[in-house]
Amino acid sequence: MSKKIIQYLVSLVFTGLIMSYVFKNIKFVDLISVFQSANYYWIALSTVMMIIAHIARAQRWRMLLEPLGQNPTLWGTSLAVFLGYFANYIVPRMGEVSKCSALQKSDNVPFQLSFGAVLAERIFDVVVLLLLLVINLLVEFDRLKDFFISEFSSKISLLLSLMAVGIVGFLLFVFLLKKYRTFFLNNPLLGKIYLFINGIIEGVLGIKKLKKPGAFIFYTCVIWLMYFLAAYVLFFALAETQSLGLKAGLTVLVMGSLGMAAPTVGGIGPYHFLVGNILVLYGLSQKSGIDLAVFIHGSQMLMQIGLGIIAFLITFFSPKKA
């Protein structure tokens, strides 16, 4: 059994365990009634906001590829982004690979360059998420401190250690590649591996060569603002959550983003656990919190799957760009 299959099975088991814990006191018929009673105007508005966020992400990706001598169309990067989100609901973290493969087919962008640019995007988004987390804690410290202490205090040191090891390991890896460049290139097999990895590194470092850093930051702000609003407006779709305010919206954005980063299929499980439980601190019952988490995640999941299928059909049934 291959390593990828084992990782996929472990992810499915992990997802199943969290889902069984989160929904142990929730009836499926009650979740269906949540969607039936919702105001679909707010779902439509949320969908438009998510589409804007994805297109802004596609444009930001183009900006990272431009200094590398690549000029994909916004249409091509948008389709690739839609396809990437769809792929994450099939195999965890497959979205990055899928979107780069799609862009290679539609716009002939080398996979390693686009993948490196995606990694640069992810690094930048992690910084933004950490900034939002700090803001969230400052704004809602009294409300959130006990939750964070109970859920994350034992894991913070481990997380920071892993991040430090990852950064040091990456820098050491880059150093060794540069130092022994001639050795790698003189070997046919190692030379191909070297050129591929060097392309990824070049893509990551492309963020240093941005021609319009102000525009890059602008599109980043658009992405995260739309993420925030797309979840926030869904509060108004359900009668029991209409009283939740902007602070609750920020908390849902941060907790939801942390949940989506977990190595599960489409963030299913961790998203519902974090968002559902944190909303109890805002006066909702645990059931209402879980209902809202399912509603937000489910609405956005259906939209992303629908757009992803359309993007897949357009991308892979269109002639490959010469």
pLDDT (mean) for 288-292 = 83
Give the span between the Cα atoms of 269 and 297, in whole angstroms. Answer: 10
The domain containing residue 165 runs over which residues? 3-22+29-316
pLDDT for 112 equals 84
Inside any domain, residue 321: no
Which one has a higher pLDDT value, 49 or 297? 49
109 inside domain = yes
C-beta of residue 176 within 8 angstroms of C-beta of residue 170? no
Does residue 59 sit within a domain?
Answer: yes
**Which of 245, 246, 240 shows the shortest CA–CA distance to 295?**
240
Average pLDDT of the chain, as a whole number: 80
- The answer to whether position 258 is within a domain reads yes
Candidates 296, 290, 284, 273; CA nearest to 244 is 284
Most confident option among 109-123, 144-158, 219-233, 269-283: 219-233
Q: Is 28 exposed, middle or buried, given 0-12, 13-18 or 19+ CB atoms closer than 10 A?
A: exposed
What does the pLDDT read at residue 278?
Answer: 87
- In the chain, % helix, strand, coil (3-state, to 5) comes to 85, 0, 15
Say how far apart CA 262 and CA 80 lie, in whole Å: 22
| pLDDT exceeds cutoff 60 at 23 | no
Q: Does this model's pTM top 0.85?
A: no
Task: Provide the domain count of the chain.
Answer: 1
Report yes or no: 283 and 73 within 8 Å, Cβ to Cβ.
no
CA–CA separation, 20 vs 25, rounded Å?
Answer: 9
In a domain, 322, yes or no: no
What average pLDDT does the segment 248-255 reach?
Answer: 92
Residue type, 270: P
Average pLDDT over residues 150-168: 64
How far apart (Å, rounded) are the C-alpha atoms in residues 81 and 73? 12
Query: Residue 89 — φ and ψ, nearest 5°?
Result: -85, 0
Indicate whether 275 belongs to any domain: yes
Q: Which of 65, 173, 184 is nearest to 113 (CA)?
A: 65
